[in-house]
């Protein structure tokens, strides 16, 4: 199996052993993080700096750097309640993104009712100023990535507690070789397909079993959009959408384009025993991530801006 770019390889490899966390519960009133002992120490991991910023930087919106190594200037929030979406795990304060991402999510959510879902449950986007996160992701740093639950939005407003404690839905069968046909529906397919057909969306990441099911179900139709639906570990409770570098962001580093092929004949790799039953190392070394100096220089201004 080919991995298609160094950037993608980095993003995917680094995210391999980090828990997905989409389904992990949160708390309604989380304790604020204690201040850093030495906030100006250049050795501080950038995740500790960006993880303590509760508001966006006041500047023009721009995505800076690469999806897995950068930050977000002038981020805006996806409102926590829309007609066709609700934000989950509010305690994480990760419903921030570049305005293009917010528009893309609103556009996709709006299609939900036509496709059989009342709307979308939106998981992690980015922190208010983007940057590396203390938990859960190596990408999601520049405000162009978002996780969408594989659970339709219920036709009522969820309570704050439900948004912390409700679990997303695992659509993959216990043997991991296919979707669970009692749970997976054509509406799941339709929502992911609609996301892939959105011109702004560059990639969608799903569990390999989901890709396998979608390849099977898309027989006989135009399959070109399937090239954007990329198999990876995890992603059985949520799918991940990634949009292209925005025009207003000259410092945004694009990914290599997806291959032209639909990728449906390249799935065998994912169903080998050693891959499907890969066990995370017992005591994974905690991910320290980059320091501020490792990130693009403009991220320092993003961090220091009012
Ligand atoms: Zn994600």
User: Ligand 1 centre and the CA of 241: distance in Å?
Assistant: 7
What is the rounded distance in angstroms from the CA atom of residue 132 to the CA atom of residue 126? 9
Determine the distance separating the centroid of ligand 1 and the alpha carbon of 179, expressed in angstroms: 19
- Give the pLDDT score at 14: 36
Gap from CA of 137 to ligand 1 centroid (Å): 7
pLDDT computed for residue 12 by the predictor? 37
Helix, strand or coil, per DSSP, at residue 228? helix
pLDDT of residue 21: 57
Taking CA 202 as the corner, what is the angle to CA 182 and CA 266, rounded to the nearest 5 degrees? 60
pLDDT for position 5:
37
Question: What is the 125 CA–ligand 1 centroid distance (Å)?
Answer: 8
Ligand 1 centroid to residue 182 C-alpha, Å: 25
Specify whether the CB–CB gap between 76 and 112 falls below 8 A. no
Q: What is the pLDDT of residue 30?
A: 84
CA atoms 150, 153, 158, 160: torsion sign: positive
User: Which residues lie below 8 Å from residue 155, measured CB to CB, with a gap of 6+?
Assistant: 118
CA of 37 to the centre of ligand 1 (A): 31
How far lies 158's CA from each of 149, 154, 234, in Å?
Answer: 14, 8, 26
- Global pTM reads 0.91
In the reported structure, the alpha carbon of residue 213 is separated from the centroid of ligand 1 by a whole-number distance in angstroms of 20
| Gap from CA of 19 to ligand 1 centroid (Å) | 11
Q: Where are the alpha helices (DSSP H) in 58-168?
A: 99-115, 160-165
What's the 150 CA to ligand 1 centre distance in angstroms? 13
> What is the structure's pLDDT at 112?
98
Identify the sign of the CA torsion 22, 25, 31, 36: negative
Q: For every one of its 306 residues, what pLDDT tens digit does the chain have, with 9 covering 90 and above?
A: 333 333 333 333 333 334 445 668 888 888 889 999 999 999 999 999 999 999 999 999 999 999 999 999 999 999 999 999 999 999 999 999 999 999 999 999 999 999 999 999 999 999 999 999 998 888 999 999 999 999 999 999 999 999 999 999 999 999 999 999 999 999 999 999 999 999 999 999 999 999 999 999 998 778 999 999 999 999 999 999 999 999 999 999 999 999 999 999 999 999 999 999 887 777 667 778 999 999 999 999 999 999
Calpha distance 261→227 (Å, rounded): 6
Span from the CA of 147 to the centroid of ligand 1 (angstroms): 5
Ligand 1 centroid distance, CA of 133 (Å): 12
Number of continuous H segments (helices) and E segments (strands) in the chain:
8, 11
């Amino acid at each position: 199996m080919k991995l298609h770019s160094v950037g993608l390889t980095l993003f995917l490899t680094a995210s391999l052993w980090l828990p997905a966390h989409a389904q992990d519960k949160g708390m309604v009133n989380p304790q604020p993080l204690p201040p850093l002992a030495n906030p100006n120490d250049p050795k501080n991991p950038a995740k500790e700096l960006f993880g303590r910023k509760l508001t966006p930087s006041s500047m023009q919106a721009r995505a800076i750097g690469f999806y897995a190594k950068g930050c977000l200037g002038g981020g805006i929030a996806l409102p926590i309640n829309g007609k066709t979406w609700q934000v989950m795990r509010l305690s994480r304060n990760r419903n921030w993104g570049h305005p293009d991402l917010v528009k893309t999510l609103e556009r996709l959510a709006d299609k939900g009712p036509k496709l059989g879902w009342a709307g979308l449950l939106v998981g992690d986007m980015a922190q208010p100023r983007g940057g590396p996160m203390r938990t859960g992701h190596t990408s999601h740093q520049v405000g162009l990535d978002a996780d969408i639950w594989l659970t339709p939005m219920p036709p009522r407003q969820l309570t704050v507690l439900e948004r912390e404690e409700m679990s997303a839905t695992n659509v993959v069968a216990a043997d991991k070789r296919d979707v669970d046909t009692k749970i997976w529906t054509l509406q799941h397919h339709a929502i992911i397909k609609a996301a892939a057909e959105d011109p702004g969306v560059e990639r969608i990441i799903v569990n390999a079993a989901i890709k396998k099911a979608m390849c099977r179900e898309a027989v006989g139709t135009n399959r070109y959009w399937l090239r954007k639906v990329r198999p990876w570990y995890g992603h059985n409770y949520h799918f991940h959408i990634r949009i292209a570098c925005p025009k207003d962001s000259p410092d945004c580093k694009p990914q290599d384009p997806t291959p032209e092929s639909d990728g449906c004949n390249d799935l065998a790799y994912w169903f080998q025993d050693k891959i499907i039953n890969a066990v995370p190392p017992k005591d994974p070394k905690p991910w320290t991530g980059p320091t501020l100096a490792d990130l693009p220089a403009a991220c320092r201004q993003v961090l220091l801006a009012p």
